[in-house]
Amino acid sequence: MHAAMLHQLLDKLTELPLLENLLLRQHREEKVAPISLGNLSMPKLQSISSVMTPLDYVRDVGFSWSQITRISLERVVLHHPSFRALHLCRSLRSLHINIWHSPVQQLQPILLHSLEDLQVSFADEEYVAILPGVMAPVLRELHLAVSPWDFFNAPSVIPPLVTMLKNSGCQLKSLELNCRDIFNDVDRLQDLLKSVPSLEELSIKGHYTGDVRRETRLFFGLLIEMEGQSDRFLVPQLKKLDVSLKRKGLVRSPFDSLLSASLNLRRVLGLRGFPVAVLETASVEMWDDEGKMAWRFSNGSDITKEGANLDAGLEMEDDV
C-alpha cells in the first residue's frame, strides 16, 4: 500500500478489536514518514513483525508495549528509540532481529524481563556495543549470527556475549553460534562455556580460516577436562552437540582417533556416574573443496564416520 493511502486509512480507523499480529513493511527505495497509531485501538495485539522498519517508525501507538509477546525485525537499522521501545515490552517472550546497522556506540542497559527466545544476527561489528547492554534473566534459547565486513580484523564476539550472559544471570538451555573462526581463541571459548553451566544443546557453525587440526583438538579437550583443581566439568548438562565448519581450499583433517575418543569419553563420563549429563547426540562436520568429513552418533549408537581423509596425517599426532 502506498504511504499516502496508508496514512489516509489510519486516519479513518478507530479500532481493530481482533488484531493479534501486525506486519510492517517498508520498501528500501521509499522514504516514508513515521506513522501514528495513537487513535487506533488494538487491544488484542500480541505480535509485531517488520521488514526494513524499525520500531521507532511507529509512534503514538494505540496499544501498550507491555502486551506484546513476540517481535520479529528483519533488515533493520536500529537507533536508541527502538531499544527504548523494547525496554517497555515487559511481556516479550520471543525476539528475532536481523540488524543491518546501528549507530549506537554504547547501549544503555535494557531489561527484557520475560524474554525466553532470542535470535539475533549482526551484519557488522555492532555486537560489541549492543550485547553487553542486554539483560534477559529468563533467557533459555539464544541463536547468534555474526558476519562483519572485515572478518580478519573484527573483534571477537565472545567477550560481549559473555558479558551479556553474566549480566543476565540466565539459565540458558540452548545456544547456537554462527560466526567465523569461533575456535581461534580457546581461552575465550572456555570463558563462554563457563558462563553457561545449564546448557543442554550447543551448535557451532561458520567458516574457518585457522588450523582446524589444532583448534578442534583444543575445543574437544575442553569437554573432557575438569575445571582447574575442581571436580567440575564444563557445560555439565550438555546432551546435544552440533559442530559444522566450512573452509575454502583443503583442510588438514582433524585427528580421527582423538576426536572419536573425545566424543566417546564425554558420553561415557555421564554413563559412569561422573557429574555430567550423558551426551546423547553429537554431529561434527568439516567441509572443504573436496567435500565433507563427519562424525556422528545418537541414542547410544557407535560413532559413524564419513570422508576419505579422516585418518590422513595421523602419523603427525605427536607433532601437535
Least confident of 89-103, 128-142, 202-216, 303-317: 303-317
What is the pLDDT, as a whole number, of residue 196?
96
What is the pLDDT, as a whole number, of residue 252?
60
**Pairing outcome for strands 304-306 and 291-298:** antiparallel
What is the pLDDT, as a whole number, of residue 314?
41
Is 14 in a helix, a strand, or coil?
coil
Average pLDDT over residues 15-29: 80
Nearest to 151 by CA among 193, 181, 191: 181
- Quick: pLDDT tens for 275-320: 999 999 999 998 877 778 889 999 878 899 887 555 544 433 444 3
| Domain harbouring 78, CATH code | 3.80.10
Nearest to 309 by CA among 240, 262, 256: 256
Average pLDDT over residues 40-47: 88
What is the pLDDT, as a whole number, of residue 79?
87
What is the pLDDT, as a whole number, of residue 236?
95
What is the pLDDT, as a whole number, of residue 106?
85
What is the pLDDT, as a whole number, of residue 249?
65
What is the pLDDT, as a whole number, of residue 317?
41
Alpha helices in the chain (DSSP H): 3-12, 80-87, 127-130, 158-168, 186-194, 212-222, 256-271
| Phi, psi of 305, deg, nearest 5 | -125, 150
What is the pLDDT, as a whole number, of residue 201?
98
Sorting pLDDT into bands at 50, 70 and 90, what band is 34? low
What is the pLDDT, as a whole number, of residue 280?
95
Mean pLDDT estimate for the chain: 85
Domain span holding position 173: 3-319
Secondary structure of the chain: what % helix, strand, coil (to 5)? 25, 30, 45
In the chain, % of residues over pLDDT 70: 85
What is the pLDDT, as a whole number, of residue 158?
95
* The pLDDT of residue 132 is above 90: yes
In the chain, % of residues over pLDDT 90: 46
- Quick: pLDDT tens for 182-214: 888 888 999 999 999 999 999 999 887 777 777
Looking at the structure of the chain, the number of domains it has is 1
* The pLDDT of residue 33 is above 70: no
More confident residue, 87 or 210: 87
More confident residue, 256 or 204: 204
d(CA 253, CA 144): 27
